[in-house]
Chains A and B, each alone.
Chain A
């Protein structure tokens, strides 16, 4: 009796996962080794050509660029999030309120947050209007539809993912440790650099992972803030499945992206004892 109920309880989730996670990846793997159909779709013969195309400088360049943009956004997130996380962890009261303030934008829609930046940065946007009113510029600055806007959007959207793990790591840290370093003659920044920062390493690693992975696969932000001029791997995959209708190559690129994500995760999971879930 005991075992049967548990199996029954697992059945809906297991069926759903097999159908919507397991099966699609098997199908993608098969598609990635087939040829492109005449009207889109896939057809025989089986081939490795899609995988070979990944080495083409044009496509490898898109992957490399996505990597760079994600790495830059992650680094900026880390630099910005650290003082905020440290402040919340060291503040005595209002911790929950401050955390709620960090999480609130995360709960609101990603589309709305991205639109908010379009509204601020476009030619008739608030930033340009204010600068023109102030007489600092005579024509609107091209703030939107470039890499800067994309990185800004990525940093803005993923900041909470960085703040939370950093806060968790810093909160666990005894402030007396930094004080002890100061008592032993360390300057404030020395205590920070040699005590606080190294002890926060697990939080930094978790934050970097949680920020880097979604940045790597991003679609919406470069599409809206980059205005189609900024092709990253997410946009590229979407194109292969919609406008270009080259499903086999799109499948190969998707699996390559997935492989990168899994390698990064595997490296992290191996280092720590707790499970991912």
Chain B
């Protein structure tokens, strides 16, 4: 029985990783099809020359950076405030945003923006995407930071205040430094989720804004090209490196 479980576990890990490894290997294939025709970087070159891809990648980075910054600040402050006193309404709102299927979030935000468009002249574009991403990243940030706060001793902050620190000073000088690893990992999670999102983004981006997932989706939908393999490999490696870097940062502290 032990051996059977070990075998099943090994097969499952293979199942989880093999498709991505195959993809990465064939991104270096000289040929267009799934026959190995020798090592080549031609698909990476083609991707680097594709102006539409580069612009979309730039948009994705910009959106993810802005949404991560906003969601991390708002989410950390919110988690800290919730730690001191529960707010049922806010918790409900956060839970709701966490469990709403992406497609429902997408159409709900589209309905909101269309309504705002009618009454305030708001157009769809980068800014609506950033707002949407900030919104769905917020709950994840609160989740991660609040989990860390709950294992922390609140008497430290109280001691600082007894010694004359204001509440803000106590938060900034005592609590926040202890929270840095959790905040970093929350920010990383937010960045990954934002960078990867297709469903919500495609609904609220309007006609002039394209993100990397939108371009990749369109390419895959048309049957795909090895360029998709190359871009996918870059995305996977870059995100993987970011996660490893963040993890090692956390362990050093």
Residues on A lying within 8 angstroms of B by beta carbon are: 1-2, 5-7, 9-10, 12-14, 16-25, 27-28, 31, 41, 80-81, 83-84, 86-88, 90, 98, 101-102, 104-105, 107-120, 122, 124-126, 129, 156, 159-160, 188-189, 192, 213-214, 216-220, 223-224, 234, 237-238, 241-242, 247, 250-251, 254, 257-258, 261-262, 265, 275-277
Contacts and interface: CB of A to CB of B under 8 A. Distances in A.
Q: Range of interface residues on chain B?
A: 35 or more
B74 interface: yes
Contacts of B16: 101-102, 104-105, 156, 159-160
A117 B229 CA distance: 12
Contacts of A13: 74-75, 77-78, 90, 94, 138, 142
A180 B198 CA distance: 50
B35 to A, nearest CB: 7
Contact of A22 (B73, B93, B228): B93
B91 A277 contact: yes
B179 interface: no
A40 B17 CA distance: 44
Contacts of B34: 119, 124-126, 129
A3 B25 CA distance: 57
Contacts of A262: 99
A117 B20 CA distance: 9
Interface in B214-229: 216-217, 220-221, 223-224, 228-229
B13 interface: yes
Given A12-B78, A189-B1, A277-B142, A126 B22 contact: yes
Interface stretch (B4-12, B39-47, B49-57): B4-12
Given A237-B103, A238-B199, 11 more contacts: A19-B112, A21-B96, A27-B108, A115-B224, A120-B22, A124-B34, A213-B101, A224-B221, A234-B103, A241-B110, A265-B99
A107 B112 contact: no
Contact of A112 (B15, B134, B232): B232
A159 B111 CA distance: 32
B143 interface: yes
B107 A28 contact: yes
A84 B90 contact: no
A80 B213 CA distance: 29
Contact of B240 (A21, A107, A275): A107
Contacts of B199: 219-220, 238
Given A126-B34, A156-B19, A111 B196 contact: yes
A265 B167 CA distance: 37
A153 B224 CA distance: 17
A10 B78 contact: yes
A216 B104 CA distance: 11
Given A105-B16, A217-B102, A112 B111 contact: no
Nearest to B88: A275
A237 B107 contact: yes
Interface of B: 1, 4-6, 8-9, 12-13, 15-17, 19-20, 22-23, 26, 33-35, 73-75, 77-78, 80-82, 84-85, 87, 90-91, 93-104, 106-112, 114-115, 131-132, 134-135, 138-139, 142-143, 146, 166-168, 171, 192, 195-196, 198-199, 203, 213, 216-217, 220-221, 223-224, 228-229, 232, 235-236, 239-240, 243
B33 to A, nearest CB: 5
B236 A112 contact: yes
A242 B207 CA distance: 12
A107 B243 contact: yes
Contacts of B78: 9-10, 12-14
A83 B8 contact: yes
A12 B6 CA distance: 48
Nearest to B228: A115
Contact of B20 (A7, A81, A116): A116
B101 A217 contact: yes
Interface centre among B34, B93, B97 (most CB of A within 10 A): B34
Contacts of B168: 5
Contacts of B9: 83-84, 86-88
Contacts of B95: 265, 276-277
A130 to B, nearest CB: 9
A118 B225 CA distance: 11
Contacts of B99: 213, 261-262, 265
A220 B199 CA distance: 7
Given A111-B196, A156-B19, A251-B107, A9 B81 contact: yes
B146 A87 contact: no
Interface centre among A124, A125, A126, A250 (most CB of B within 10 A): A126
Given A116-B19, A261-B99, A109 B107 contact: no
